[in-house]
């Protein structure tokens, strides 16, 4: 079997489009919407967009539906599950009372959102009372704990995948700030303890729990009663959470959108500072163009995604080749064969970690050194305890001394030098504009920087130059069109606004 010798050392995994513009498994997100379906959610109303009263349950369902519609276009690779608790009927793999996992046919409980899921979920409110029902799952004299059961079911749904390759989250929507308020004595203490322990078990597995509170018209949601302990809020975190709990209900969709569009980890890397001392860092892409979802080929009969399979066939015999293919490189009229393991070993120039080389003054770093979007790095104590402490000490020293760090970084086939520049926090009116951390700027190679061509390539004449008057008028024009306080984050990417869900799939 002949293969193209030019492809022997072809880079199959690196590239500018691969890391930031194509979704990899490491930035997938698994989300479980946990919606309270108790009678209080149906009895409490608030003014909607058209000034008509709508229930908290209607508000929660409509917010989730809008989020799913946005996700199926811009983030179709994420997987979601919708779970109701305090329900009359039960539907879950654990067969627990008071928990109903909503789903449609030909779809797993935790899977990518589909058009059928969104369509049936939009119509759910009309048939919810008839088919699922609502009831209080925590009542005196009963040992049933619907909140505990709901957290257990959500945790089981998120067993899929690893926390190293995906972010796992539970979004809890409720208007009940004291789920055990109707209980007394030992029963209340026991159910509170078991529910908090269940939440802690989920968080220990790398699952984050976030609360979207719905405040009643006559009183605000009091997170201190129970959910502060469940979420692990105290001190400054609790103070910062309280204003969002007291926001108006018409801001609910904005709150959900903020939860869904969180900064995602691109990858986790190890930062070797010196011999025997290393810390763990998470890398983020703060600003990137939002591109439409990848094309998915669908079967024209069943409308199901097609599975692509590739087989190698021998040209001489037509038989399927079972052994792994070998590649070759011509050398002195002879083909030198390489196995895939040998090629991978030869490509292994770097281990993929970040290694500190030294420091330089900030004046040495020029604007033209930034040839591609930088990456934001932040410490993580998840695997290496103490990473945050060491990172903060390094970060503060770089800010104080006005220095940047030079480090060696790269994947196995694309090593390069990077500049680590400390970024101070920027806040206006108590709102964070820029987070504190370090930007990793990818430095160019020497042949990436070229002098400006002074002559036309086809002639010996000098290139035309503007006179002083033309330069002054051009400078005045630039100053007039300069926008103050401009940020690219204020505008959505037109490419995704113009795309539709139908454009992301093809049939064959």
In a domain, 93, yes or no: yes
Residues 115 and 250 in one domain: yes
Q: Which pLDDT does position 66 carry in this prediction?
A: 82
Q: Which of 97-101, 255-259, 300-304 has the lowest mean pLDDT?
A: 255-259
In a domain, 160, yes or no: yes
Tokens of 503: 């454009």
Q: Among 394, 414, 448, give the residue marking a domain's end.
A: 448
* 51-60, 211-220, 304-313, 353-362, range with greatest mean pLDDT: 353-362
Residues 134 and 207 in one domain: yes
pLDDT band at 291 (very low <50, low <70, confident <90, very high): low
pLDDT tens-digit readout, 421-472: 999 888 776 666 788 899 999 998 887 777 665 445 555 566 677 889 999 9
Residues 433 and 359 in one domain: yes
Distance CA 411, CA 413 (A): 5
Q: Which pLDDT does position 505 carry in this prediction?
A: 40
For residues 276 and 383, is the Cβ–Cβ distance under 8 A? no
- How big is the CA angle at 169 (ends 168 and 174), to the nearest 5 degrees? 165
Distance CA 324, CA 109 (A): 36
Residues 188 and 157 in one domain: yes
In a domain, 358, yes or no: yes
Does pLDDT of 350 surpass 50? yes
Residues 282 and 222 in one domain: no
Q: Which pLDDT does position 24 carry in this prediction?
A: 43
Q: Which pLDDT does position 36 carry in this prediction?
A: 92
* Average pLDDT, integer, range 269-276: 87
Tokens of 318: 């037509």
DSSP track, 269-311:
EEEEEETTEEEEEEEE-SS----PPPPEEE-TTT-PBPPP---
* Average pLDDT, integer, range 346-359: 81
Report which secondary-structure segment, H or E, holds 29: strand 28-36
What is the torsion angle, in degrees rounded to the nearest 10, for the CA atoms of residue 491, residue 434, residue 232 and residue 68? 10
- How big is the CA angle at 307 (ends 304 and 310), to the nearest 5 degrees? 160
Residues 176 and 273 in one domain: no
In a domain, 397, yes or no: yes
In a domain, 491, yes or no: no
Does pLDDT of 204 surpass 80? yes
Indicate which CATH number applies to the domain containing 361: 2.40.290.10
Distance CA 45, CA 112 (A): 32
What is the torsion angle, in degrees rounded to the nearest 10, for the CA atoms of residue 444, residue 447, residue 452 and residue 455? -160
DSSP track, 326-389:
-EEEEETTEEEEE-HHHHHHHH-S--S-EEEEEEEEGGG--GGG--S--EEEEE--SSSTTHHH
Would you tell me the crossing angle of helices 115-122 and 56-74 to the nearest 10 degrees? 160
Judged on CB neighbours under 10 Å (0-12, 13-18, 19+), 71 is buried
Characterize the bridge pairing of strands 28-36 and 79-85.
Answer: parallel
Tokens of 163: 């926390």
- Return the SS3 of 210: strand
Higher pLDDT, 31 or 501: 31
Residues 132 and 51 in one domain: yes
Q: Which pLDDT does position 68 carry in this prediction?
A: 84
Q: Which pLDDT does position 500 carry in this prediction?
A: 40
Residues 66 and 157 in one domain: yes
What is the pTM for the complete model shown?
A: 0.62
Residues 253 and 359 in one domain: no
pLDDT band at 494 (very low <50, low <70, confident <90, very high): low
Distance CA 122, CA 64 (A): 9
In a domain, 104, yes or no: yes
- Return the SS3 of 75: coil
Residues 391 and 436 in one domain: yes
pLDDT band at 292 (very low <50, low <70, confident <90, very high): low
Q: Which pLDDT does position 135 carry in this prediction?
A: 87
The CA–CA distances, whole Å, from 116 to 55, 69, 257 equal 25, 11, 22
Q: Which of 217-221, 246-250, 268-272, 356-360 has the lowest mean pLDDT?
A: 246-250
Higher pLDDT, 258 or 334: 334
Q: Which pLDDT does position 463 carry in this prediction?
A: 64
* Average pLDDT, integer, range 193-214: 89
Higher pLDDT, 227 or 480: 227
The total of structural domains in the chain comes to 2
Q: Which pLDDT does position 154 carry in this prediction?
A: 93
Does pLDDT of 15 surpass 70? no
Indicate which CATH number applies to the domain containing 79: 3.40.50.410
* 287-296, 319-328, 418-427, range with greatest mean pLDDT: 418-427
In a domain, 433, yes or no: yes
Residues 182 and 281 in one domain: no
Q: Which pLDDT does position 507 carry in this prediction?
A: 42
Report which secondary-structure segment, H or E, holds 476: helix 468-480
- Structural domain range at position 214: 27-260
pLDDT tens-digit readout, 382-425: 788 889 999 999 999 999 999 999 999 876 667 888 999 999 88
Q: How many CB atoms are located within 10 Å of the residue 106 CB?
A: 11
Residues 191 and 283 in one domain: no
* Average pLDDT, integer, range 8-21: 40
């Amino acid at each position: 079997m002949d293969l193209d010798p030019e492809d022997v050392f072809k880079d199959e995994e690196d590239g500018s489009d691969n890391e930031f513009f194509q979704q990899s498994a490491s930035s997938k997100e698994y989300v479980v919407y946990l919606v309270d379906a108790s009678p209080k959610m149906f009895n409490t109303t608030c003014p909607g967009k058209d000034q008509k009263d709508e229930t908290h349950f209607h508000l929660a369902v409509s917010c989730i539906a809008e989020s799913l519609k946005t996700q199926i276009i811009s983030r179709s690779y994420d997987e979601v599950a919708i779970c109701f608790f305090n329900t009359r009927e039960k539907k879950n793999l654990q067969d627990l009372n008071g928990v109903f996992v909503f789903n449609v046919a030909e779809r797993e409980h935790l899977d990518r959102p589909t058009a059928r899921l969104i369509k049936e979920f939009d119509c759910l409110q009309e048939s919810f009372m008839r088919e699922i029902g609502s009831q209080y799952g925590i009542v005196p004299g009963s040992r049933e704990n619907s909140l505990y059961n709901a957290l257990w079911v959500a945790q089981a749904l998120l067993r899929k995948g690893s926390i190293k390759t995906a972010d796992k989250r539970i979004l809890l929507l409720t208007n009940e700030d004291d789920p055990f308020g109707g209980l007394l004595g030992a029963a209340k203490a026991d159910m509170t303890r078991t529910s908090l322990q269940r939440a802690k078990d989920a968080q220990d597995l790398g699952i984050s729990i976030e609360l979207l509170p719905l405040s009643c018209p006559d009183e605000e949601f009091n997170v201190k009663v129970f959910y502060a302990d469940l979420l692990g809020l105290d001190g400054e975190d609790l103070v910062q959470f309280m204003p969002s709990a007291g926001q108006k209900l018409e801001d609910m969709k904005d709150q959900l959108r903020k939860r869904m569009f969180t900064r995602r980890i691109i990858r986790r890397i190890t930062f070797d500072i010196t011999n025997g001392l290393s810390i763990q860092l998470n890398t983020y892409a703060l600003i990137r163009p939002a591109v439409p979802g990848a094309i998915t080929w669908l079967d024209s009969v069943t409308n199901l995604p097609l599975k692509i399979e590739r087989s190698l066939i021998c040209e001489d015999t037509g038989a399927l080749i079972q052994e792994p293919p070998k590649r070759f490189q011509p050398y002195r009229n002879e083909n030198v064969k390489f196995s895939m393991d040998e090629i991978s070993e030869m490509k292994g120039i770097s281990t993929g970690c970040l290694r500190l080389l030294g420091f330089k003054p900030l004046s040495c770093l020029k604007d033209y050194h930034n040839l591609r979007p930088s990456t934001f790095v932040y410490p993580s104590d998840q695997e290496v305890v103490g990473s945050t402490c060491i990172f903060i000490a390094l970060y503060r020293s770089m800010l104080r001394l006005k220095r940047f760090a030079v480090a060696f970084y790269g994947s196995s086939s694309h090593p390069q030098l990077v500049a680590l520049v400390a970024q101070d926090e920027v806040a206006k009116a108590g709102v964070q504009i820029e987070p504190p951390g370090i930007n990793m700027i990818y430095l160019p190679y020497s042949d990436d920087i070229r002098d400006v061509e002074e002559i036309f390539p086809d002639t010996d004449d000098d290139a035309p130059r503007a006179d002083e008057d033309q330069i002054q008028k051009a400078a005045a024009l630039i100053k007039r069109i300069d926008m103050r306080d401009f940020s690219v984050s204020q505008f959505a990417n037109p490419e995704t606004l113009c795309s539709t869900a139908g454009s992301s799939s093809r049939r064959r």
